[in-house]
Amino acid sequence: MQLPKIPFVVLDTETTGFVPKVNRVIEYAHMVFRDGEQVDEYDELVSVPVDIPDVVQIITRIRPDALTGKKPFEEHQSAIEKGIGDDTIIVGQNIMFDIRMLKGEGLDLSDRPWIDTSMLASLVFPELESYSLGYVSRVLELNHAPVHRALGDVRATMELLGKCWERLLELPQDMVMDIKATMNKSSEGYTKLFDALPTGNATSRPAWIQMPTPKKFPGMTRTVPLHKPAVGIVDMIEESLDPMMLQSIIDAAAKDTSTVHWVAVKNLTTMAKRLQLSDEVRVLQPPFLLLDAEAADTLRAKKSYSADEATLVTKLDWYEPKVFEDAPIHGEERSVWNGKLTCTETSKTYTDQFTNLPSVILLDHRQLLAFVADPEHAAHGALNSDAHIIIDDASMLEDTANKAYGHYCSLNDLRAAASDHEGLTKFTDLLQIWLEKTRNEQDVRFLAHSDLTAPDADALRSLLSGLLEDTTLPPQTHKHLEAAMRSIEEEALTRITWIETRQDGNQYMHSVPESVAELMKEDLYDKYPVTMLVPPKNAQLLQEAVHRSAKIALNTAVQRVQDPIEISFPEEMRGSTIVSDPPDGKTIVLAGSRRVIEEYFVKYTEDLEARGITLICQSFSGGVNRMQAEFLAAAEPAVWVLTPWTFEGISLPPGTVDHLIIDALPFDNPSQPVFSKRAEHFDNAFIGYSMPRLLQRLFRLLRTYRRIAKGSADVTVIDNRIKEKRYGKGVQNFMEM
C-alpha cells in the first residue's frame, strides 16, 4: 500500500455523544506517519465524569467499568500533543467532528491542516453506495478491527487514505496539474496533500471517473387504455401494487401524439432511474437539481475555496454533471450546491428544457404545481389547456403541494451561500441567534404574533430587505433569502409557519398555506385535463389535495390488476421476538418510533452480532444510503429496523427482501405542524383525515415492498390495534383487498 510522503497523523475518538463539552471523549487513538512509514501509535481509554449512554456502550463496547482507574483526558494531552508533533496534517473520517470534540476537551487542533478521508473517498470512489467507514471497510476490504473502537477506526482510515492515494496516482499529468491548481486555492491540508502528488505517467483519464449506471426495473408492461378527461372533472385511476403500472401508463402516453402528457411523480430522480424511457419522453429536471453553468464558472473563478468548494469544483471538472445525481456529491458539498450552483426558474439551462417538447414530459409534483401557480413561468409556453396532466402517487400530492406552495429555508444552505459575503454572514448569524432564542429549546415551534412583531424580527426583516436589493448576490442566494423573508414576515401568521431543529442540529424555517386543496382547484383542476393515480377505494378520501367542491370521476376503463401479497395478522407475535430471533433471509421491520428502534438496538445488537446476524437500525447505523448499502452487503440472515416514513423512500434492487414486518400502524404524528392544523378542518379528524392518510400510507408501503421483494416474500402485521380497535377490521380488509 502506498501512502503520501508527507507527515500526517490519523486520529479518532469515541465519545458519549455529539456535542462538545456536553459529551465527552472516552477513547482516543492515533497513528503518526512520516515518509509513508508509521513512527508512532497511541491508544487509551479516558475516564469521564458523566454516564456512558446505553447506545454508546453498544456501539463501542466500552462499559463504565472499563474506564475505572483510567486517567482523565487532561492527563493524556501532553503525550498526545508530543506524539502528534507540530508539523503533521490531521487525517480522519469526518475529521471535523473529532477536532470539535477534542477542542471540547482542551486540545485545540482547529488551526491545524486537516484532510477528511470520507470526502476524499467520495472524490475517487464514485461507485460506492456510502462513504461510512464500516461500509467502505467491508467493500474495500480494509482492516477495521475492532469496529467502532478508536484504534480500529484509525487503522481502517489509514488504509482508506492509502486506497484513495493509489487512485490519485493513476491520474494523467494534465489532471494532476489541474487538481493541484484547484487545491492550492483551498485549505492548507488539501494543498499539502496534493502538492505531494507526483506527476502521473498515465496518458488517459482513469476508468473509475464515471458514475455507476442505474439498474432499471425488470418486468412486463401491459396495454393501458389512456384517455384525456374533460377540464373540470378529475379522472381517478385506482392503482395496483404492480411496479410496472406507471411504466405502462407512460408507454401508452408516448404512443399518443395528439397531445403532450405531463406525468408528475413524487420522486423524479428515483423514477427516472427506475423507468425505461424512450426518446418520446423528456425528464424535466427541477431547478434545484440542475447545475447552472454560469454559477459553476463563478465558483471556479474564486481566488480561494473552502475545502468543500474545492472538492466540489474538482467533481464538476471530472464528472461534468448536468444534474445533482451525475456526480458523487457528499456531505457539506450539498450545501454549496444548494447555496451557489443550482438553477432558478429563470436560468437558461432550466428554461431550455421547454423547447421542442416530445409527447411525454416526466416531472415532479412540485414543478407541476409551480408551473400552474405562476402564469409568468416559462413552462406556460408549452403547458396549456390542451395538455393532459397525469399525477402519479396522488396520495402524496398534499405533502408535495405543501412544499410547492410553501416556503422553506435551510440555515445550512444560507450559511454556505454566505461564505464570501459579510452582510449575508451577519444576517445568518443574527438569524441563528433569533431561532435559538425563539424556539426556547423546542425542536418544533409554531411562530406566534409576538415572535414576528418583536423588534428583533423587525431588524431581521430590515437586513433581509437590503440583501434582497443586492444585485451582486447570485439568483440562488436570492431564492433562499426570499424563503427566509416569507417565513418571518407578518403575513406568515396567515399561514402555518414554524421553525424546526433536527437531530443533526440543522435548523429550518417553514411557512405553508392553510389549505393547498383550494389553491390546486383554482390553479390545476379547473384549468387542465387531470388524471390522478390513487390507492384503491380512496378516490373520495383526498380532501386536502382535491377540494371537496371539485368534480371527480372514477376511471373504470383501466382495470386494477390484482397483485396479491401474502399478508398475515398474527395475534401473539411481537416485534421484539422477530428482531431477537429473525427468520431466514432478509427482513425489514417497520417500527412505530425511534424510541422503539433504540430499544431494539440496545437489547439485541450484541447477541445478534455474536450469532453472525446483522442488525441495522435507523438513527444508529448512519443515513439512508449507508443503511441501504449495508443491508445489501450483509450476509443472511439480516434485519433492518426503520420507520415507515423512511421505508417509503428507500431504493433497493428487486428481489432483495424476504419478509416485511409492520410493527405499528403508521398513523401521522398528531403534533406534526401541518397535520395538526389541517385536522381542524374536519368535524371528526380521526375518521376524515387520519384514517384515510393511514390507508394511503399502508398502500404505498405495500407497493414499495412489492417492488423490492422476492417472489415468495410475505408481510406480517403485528400491531394489536388490528384486533383490539373498531377500525382494525377495516384496516385488515383494505390491506387484503
pLDDT digits (tens, 9 = 90+) for 149-183: 999 999 999 999 999 999 999 999 999 999 999 99
Answer whether residue 217 shows pLDDT above 90.
Answer: no
Residue 622 pLDDT: 85
Sequence-distant (≥ 6) Cβ neighbours of residue 141 within 8 angstroms: none
- Cell numbers at residue 39, please? 513512527
Dump pLDDT digits (tens) for 689-706: 999 999 999 999 999 999
Give the whole-angstrom CA distance, residue 286 versus residue 363: 8
Per 3-state DSSP, the chain is made up of helix, strand and coil in percentages (nearest 5) of: 45, 15, 40
Ranges of each domain in the chain: 8-168, 233-275+357-405+515-554, 407-512, 566-736
Q: What percent of the chain has pLDDT above 90?
A: 85
Phi and psi dihedrals of 644, rounded to 5?
Answer: -60, -35
Alpha carbon distance, N-terminus to C-terminus of the chain: 58
Answer whether residue 118 shows pLDDT above 90.
Answer: yes
- Count Cβ atoms below 10 Å from residue 657 Cβ, excluding itself: 23
CATH of domain 8-168: 3.30.420.10
Contact 529, 387 (CB under 8 A): yes
Same topology between domain 8-168 and domain 233-275+357-405+515-554 = no
- Cell numbers at residue 533, please? 393515480
Residue 402 pLDDT: 96
Strand order in the sheet with 586-590: 566-568, 709-717, 657-662, 586-590, 638-642, 614-617
Sequence-distant (≥ 6) Cβ neighbours of residue 5 within 8 angstroms: 35, 36, 196
Could you give the C-alpha distances from 128 to 309, 618, 628, 662, in angstroms and in order? Answer: 21, 20, 12, 30
What are the DSSP calls for 302-360, one per residue? -SS--HHHHHHHHHHHHH--SBGGGS---TTHHHHIIIIIB--TT-HHHHGGGSS--SE
Sequence-distant (≥ 6) Cβ neighbours of residue 724 within 8 angstroms: none
The three-state (H, E, C) secondary structure of 247-275, written as one string: HHHHHHHHHCCCCCEEEEECCHHHHHHHC
- Give the residue-averaged pLDDT of 717-730: 96
Answer whether residue 380 shows pLDDT above 80.
Answer: no
For the chain, count helices (H), then strands (E): 31, 22
Q: For the domain 566-736, what is the CATH superfamily, name and number?
A: P-loop containing nucleotide triphosphate hydrolases (3.40.50.300)
Q: What percent of the chain has pLDDT above 70?
A: 99
Dump pLDDT digits (tens) for 233-256: 999 999 989 888 999 999 999 999
Give the whole-angstrom CA distance, residue 488 versus residue 455: 12
Residue 148 pLDDT: 81
Dump pLDDT digits (tens) for 623-654: 899 999 999 999 999 999 999 999 999 999 99
Dump pLDDT digits (tens) for 480-505: 999 999 999 999 999 999 999 987 78
Give the whole-angstrom CA distance, residue 532 versus residue 545: 11
Give the whole-angstrom CA distance, residue 91 versus residue 89: 6
Could you give the C-alpha distances from 175 to 197, 301, 315, in angstroms and in order? Answer: 11, 18, 12
- Give the residue-averaged pLDDT of 709-731: 95
Q: How far is CA 674 from the centre of its chain?
A: 21
Confidence class of residue 506 from pLDDT cuts 50, 70 and 90? confident
Contact 234, 149 (CB under 8 A): no
Confidence class of residue 563 from pLDDT cuts 50, 70 and 90? low
Maximal CA-CA distance, the chain:
81
**DSSP-derived pairing of the beta strands 360-364 and 444-446:** unpaired
- Count Cβ atoms below 10 Å from residue 611 Cβ, excluding itself: 10
H helix runs in 184-226, sequence order? 188-195
Nearest residue to 205 via CA among 167, 171, 160: 171
Decide yes or no: CATH 3.40.50.300 for domain 233-275+357-405+515-554.
yes
Sequence-distant (≥ 6) Cβ neighbours of residue 436 within 8 angstroms: none
Dump pLDDT digits (tens) for 566-606: 899 998 899 999 999 999 999 999 999 999 999 999 999 99
Dump pLDDT digits (tens) for 37-92: 999 999 999 999 999 999 999 999 999 999 999 999 999 999 999 999 999 999 99
Nearest residue to 131 via CA among 623, 617, 644, 652: 623
Strand, coil or helix: 408: strand
Strand order in the sheet with 551-554: 281-283, 360-364, 261-265, 388-391, 530-534, 233-238, 551-554
Answer whether residue 226 shows pLDDT above 70.
Answer: yes
Locate cell 411481537: which residue? 574
Locate cell 387542465: which residue? 528
Across the chain, what does the average pLDDT equal?
A: 94
Strand, coil or helix: 34: strand
Give the whole-angstrom CA distance, residue 130 versus residue 94: 13
